[in-house]
Amino acid sequence: MSAEPMLQTSGLIAGYGNAPVLRGIDLTVPAGTITAVLGANGAGKTTLLRALSGLIRPTGGRIVFDGVELGGTPVEHLVRRGLVHVPQGRGVVEELTVEENLRLGGLWRRDRTDARRALAEVYDLFEPLARRRRHAGHQLSGGERQQLALGRALVARPRLLLLDEPSLGLAPRVTAEIMALLRQLRDDTGLTVLLVEQNVRSALSVADEGVVMALGRIVVATGPAELRDDEQLRHAYLGF
Amino acid sequence: MQRFIFLTLDGLSRGAVYAAFALALVLIWRATRIVNFAQGAMAVATAYAAYSISTATGSYWLGFGIALVAGLMLGAVVERGVMRFVDHGSPLNAVIVALGLVLVLQAGLGMAYGNEFRPAPAPFSRTALSVGELALLSRYDLFVFAAVLLVVLALALLFTRTPVGLRMRAAAFAPEVSRLLGVNVGGMLTFGWALAAALGALAGMLIIPTELGLHPHAMDLVFVSAFTAAVVGGLDSPPGAVVGGLAVGLILSYVSGYLGSDVTPLAVLVLLLAVLLIRPAGLFSAAARRTV
């Protein structure tokens, strides 16, 4: 783990219209780790990711990504810096084929050879996608869509991956596969992941750090073991 | 029988132009969910640009090229300067803005060139070549077919085989995801409008010489026919627009040939009404497929 955090926010305020959803977020995501963001519905987890990737403009605070402040960087430039956000509901482009979806992840890159190599790696990683490369996005199952969304993000060769509820609507076995893959990517390539999850158990099974959000603030930041074991915390914020 | 063959070929020739014009409507609809009601007036404006250049230089082809370039520019300007600022809260907003643009363009052209018919010469003979007793296609018809075929194929290749085409389709279908993956969605929109307006300019250049001549309202009925064609094909589908364009061309040719050309404007509207009543999603629409 390097000393420099991959991502750091201080006093981040963002929301829709006049009502701030995020009310001062101080978050540090160390490089090469998986950080889980937990919390009830409406706590602001998705808004946090959308503010980090610039889909909504923060109205206050700072975001420092890999040592560079992101203030005002256009959304479409962030992928070049190595930040890729996989939105909730997976964002597979239904009208495009599997292969076109994946190529979309590598379009920004100048190095066409490496973009092709990244595509081949993703096909190795997700064998069902390789079999269905000519199928349209809307023909895929839920699990395949998640694989496609994740695979497409990996084609972009991210250093920081923002994942919004990858387990949503998936069978436990498929969720477990995805979590195992995140762990493998972290260990093999040093990928940093900020993982928003409702599924607390599977998120904590891979996370190195855990933060709990409530009403637009981070109320707990600690290790996953502490979150699992502290009964009071669990009852108060995680509901189990 | 001879008459039927003649009407069929003539209908296909006009239909090819409707197809191109309908394709331009579909390109913009897919990217922005806006029916560009100003497309006819925009095409006429580019035809006037061609007219000015051609009369000044004496070269038809220079004017032809200018029309296409003017189309590209006008499309980009209309998107950047007008359509980008339309509030999408109600679908009618864009329609009203586009109709306003029609008024501005037609009034402006009327002021600059006068509300009279100007000659619009065709670059090739419009006399049908005969095989034996049978009058078939004119050289100009062949030129129309070739031009539309070439452009449609080029567009198909652009959209399905090139990175820019993939970016444009992704930006149209899923703008937010595309931005997250580094696609300049705003730029793609502008480029799409420019392409569509150039395609509209081509259609205008091809069809105006077959009509009464150049006039600020020269494309009004063509627009309605092409809009009908796009609706027949399902506004979402480029192949549908091409098939719809040819079909509308054929139907109108038969109507005008057998029932009289006075009935044609009525026939266009009846056809549009019928399609909207019977199959509003169009024959080739992907809507049904997407709900699965």
Maximum Cα–Cα distance for chain A, whole Å? 52
Under an 8 Å CB criterion, which residues of B touch A? Answer: 163, 166-167, 169-170, 173-174, 176-185, 286, 289-290, 292
Span A120-140, average pLDDT: 93
What φ, ψ does residue B10 adopt, rounded to 5°? -65, -40
Q: What is the DSSP secondary-structure string of chain A?
A: --SSEEEEEEEEEEEETTEEEEEEEEEEEETT-EEEEEE-TTSSHHHHHHHHTTSS--SEEEEEETTEE-TT--HHHHHHHTEEEE-TT----TTSBHHHHHHHHHTT-S-HHHHHHHHHHHHHH-HHHHHTTTSBGGGS-HHHHHHHHHHHHHHT--SEEEEE-TTTT--HHHHHHHHHHHHHHHHHH--EEEEE-S-HHHHHHH-SEEEEEETTEEEEEE-HHHHHH-HHHIIIII--
Which one is predicted more confidently, B234 or A3?
B234
Strand order in the sheet with A209-214: A83-86, A160-164, A192-196, A34-39, A209-214, A217-222
Helix, strand, or coil here: B277? Answer: helix
Cβ contacts (< 8 Å) between A84 and chain B: which residues?
180-181
Q: How confident is the model at residue B290 (pLDDT cuts 50, 70, 90)?
A: very low
Q: How confident is the model at residue B285 (pLDDT cuts 50, 70, 90)?
A: low
pLDDT at B70 over 50: yes
CB-based contact, A111 to chain B, within 8 Å? no
Neighbour tally for A149: CB within 10 Å: 24
pLDDT score at B137? 85
Separation CA B202–CA B260 (nearest Å)? 28
Helix, strand, or coil here: B247? Answer: helix
Q: How far is B185 from chain A (nearest CA, A)?
A: 8
CB-based contact, A119 to chain B, within 8 Å? no
pLDDT score at A63? 95
By percentage, how much of chain A surpasses pLDDT 70? Answer: 97
Separation CA A142–CA A119 (nearest Å)? 21
Identify whether the C-beta of residue B232 lies closer than 8 Å to the C-beta of residue B275. Answer: yes
Per residue in B129-143, pLDDT (tens digit) is: 877 777 788 899 999
What φ, ψ does residue A210 adopt, rounded to 5°? -135, 135
Hey, of B177, B189, B236, which one would you mutate to test binding to chain A, going by the most A CBs within 10 A of its CB? B177
Average pLDDT of every residue of chain B: 91
Separation CA A125–CA B135 (nearest Å)? 63
pLDDT at A157 over 70: yes
Separation CA B98–CA B197 (nearest Å)? 13
Of A53, A100, A138, the CB nearest to B180: A53
Q: How confident is the model at residue B288 (pLDDT cuts 50, 70, 90)?
A: very low
Cβ contacts of A11 within 8 Å, gap of 6 or more: A24, A25, A26, A60, A61, A62
Helix, strand, or coil here: B137? Answer: strand
Distances (CA, A) of B62 to A111, B44, B51, B53: 40, 17, 10, 7
Report the chain B residue with the minimal C-alpha distance to residue A52. B180
Distances (CA, A) of B247 to A62, A152, B143, B173, B263: 59, 40, 20, 28, 17
Pairing of strands A5-16, A217-222: unpaired
pLDDT score at B252? 94
Helix, strand, or coil here: B162? Answer: coil
Average pLDDT of every residue of chain A: 90
The superfamily (CATH) of domain A5-82+158-238 is P-loop containing nucleotide triphosphate hydrolases (3.40.50.300)
Q: Residue ranges of the domains in chain A?
A: 5-82+158-238, 94-157
Per residue in B140-185, pLDDT (tens digit) is: 999 999 999 999 999 999 999 999 999 999 999 999 999 999 999 9
Q: Residue ranges of the domains in chain B?
A: 23-217
Separation CA A11–CA A9 (nearest Å)? 7
Per residue in B15-29, pLDDT (tens digit) is: 999 999 999 999 999
Separation CA A118–CA A152 (nearest Å)? 9
Which one is predicted more confidently, A91 or B132?
A91
Identify whether the C-beta of residue B235 lies closer than 8 Å to the C-beta of residue B25. Answer: yes
Which one is predicted more confidently, A240 or A200?
A200
Report the chain B residue with the minimal C-alpha distance to residue A90. B177
Identify whether the C-beta of residue A168 lies closer than 8 Å to the C-beta of residue A53. Answer: no
* Contact: B183, A80; criterion CB under 8 Å: no
The DSSP output letter for B134 is E
H/E run at residue B22:
helix B2-32
Give long-range contacts, CB 8 A cutoff, 24+ apart: A127-131.
A129/A98, A129/A102
Separation CA B203–CA B208 (nearest Å)? 8
Stated length of chain B: 292
Cβ contacts of B114 within 8 Å, gap of 6 or more: none
Identify whether the C-beta of residue A105 lies closer than 8 Å to the C-beta of residue A154. Answer: yes
Span B60-68, average pLDDT: 96
ipTM for this model? 0.91
Span A41-48, average pLDDT: 91
Q: How confident is the model at residue A239 (pLDDT cuts 50, 70, 90)?
A: low
pLDDT at B289 over 50: no
Write down the residue that tokens 């420092």 correspond to: A64
Look at residues A85, A238, A58, A66 and name the one whose alpha carbon lies nearest to residue A162: A85
Rounded to two decimals, what is the model's pTM? 0.89
